[in-house]
């Protein structure tokens, strides 16, 4: 895998190719190679394309002008969360990857916002109830309260619904979550 990862990273960062299907194909297959992904760096780093790490590349693709690449990058975030230890999630995922995932709810393309909703539900399933209640839920709720655009508010409501649905099935914390949901 040490020889394959640099090739995958090079293909993902190849902005010279106008055809994005190769990069989208790699992004869609990250779950299959997830068990062999190298762990991210110990300390959060700034998203610069020169750093050779998959999380940094996904952060770079999250800002791409092509909406399909932004969507593919967002869909790959749960793969990274699944292959991090709980300590690594607190050190790396929460400060570095969670904010770009949540900022996808403000994307101008509906498919990217929908992908963010699904990805957030998958991340919630992977990270567990403590992470959801302590880190994800308050941020999504705050974004909902600050949002002034109807379509973004709807995407955030779908995300909250996804988190509630997952939480009810998982722990049966309906009254607690409903108490947190005081939207206005």
Domain with 131 in it: 4-180
Q: How confident is the model at residue 46 (pLDDT cuts 50, 70, 90)?
A: very low
pLDDT by residue (tens digit) across 90-146? 777 888 888 999 999 999 999 999 999 999 988 888 888 888 888 888 898 899 889
Region 147-156: mean pLDDT is 89
Q: How confident is the model at residue 171 (pLDDT cuts 50, 70, 90)?
A: low
DSSP state, residue 104 = G
Q: How confident is the model at residue 33 (pLDDT cuts 50, 70, 90)?
A: confident
pLDDT by residue (tens digit) across 67-89? 999 999 999 999 888 877 777 77
The larger pLDDT score, comparing residue 39 to residue 2, is at 2
The larger pLDDT score, comparing residue 174 to residue 24, is at 24
Q: How confident is the model at residue 42 (pLDDT cuts 50, 70, 90)?
A: low
Q: How confident is the model at residue 48 (pLDDT cuts 50, 70, 90)?
A: very low
Q: Answer yes or no: are the C-beta atoms of 144 and 156 closer than 8 Å.
A: yes
Q: Number of folded domains in the chain? A: 1
pLDDT by residue (tens digit) across 20-30? 888 888 888 88
Q: Answer yes or no: are the C-beta atoms of 123 and 137 closer than 8 Å.
A: no
CATH number at residue 60: 1.25.10.10
What is the rounded distance in angstroms from the CA atom of residue 40 to the CA atom of residue 44?
9
What is the rounded distance in angstroms from the CA atom of residue 96 to the CA atom of residue 85?
15
Residue 63 is predicted with a pLDDT of 92
Mean pLDDT, the chain, integer: 78
Whether the predicted model's global pTM rises above the 0.85 cut: no
Residue 153's contacts (CB-CB under 8 Å, 6 or more residues apart) are 144, 147
Q: Answer yes or no: are the C-beta atoms of 137 and 157 closer than 8 Å.
A: no
């Amino acid at each position: 895998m040490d020889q394959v990862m640099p090739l995958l990273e090079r293909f993902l960062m190849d902005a010279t190719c106008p055809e994005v299907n190769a990069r989208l194909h790699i992004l869609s297959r990250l779950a299959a190679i997830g068990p062999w992904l190298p762990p991210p760096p110990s300390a959060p780093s700034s998203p610069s394309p020169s750093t050779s790490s998959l999380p940094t590349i996904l952060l770079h693709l999250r800002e791409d002008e092509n909406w399909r690449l932004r969507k593919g990058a967002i869909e790959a975030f749960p793969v990274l969360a699944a292959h991090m230890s709980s300590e690594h999630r607190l050190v790396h995922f929460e400060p570095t990857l969670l904010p770009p995932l949540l900022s996808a709810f403000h994307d101008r393309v509906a498919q990217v916002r929908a992908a963010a909703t699904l990805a957030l539900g998958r991340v919630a399933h992977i990270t567990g109830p403590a992470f959801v209640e302590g880190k994800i839920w308050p941020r999504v709720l705050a974004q909902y309260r600050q949002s002034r655009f109807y379509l973004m508010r709807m995407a955030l409501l779908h995300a909250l619904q996804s988190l509630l649905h997952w939480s009810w099935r998982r722990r049966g914390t309906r009254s607690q979550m409903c108490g947190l949901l005081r939207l206005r």
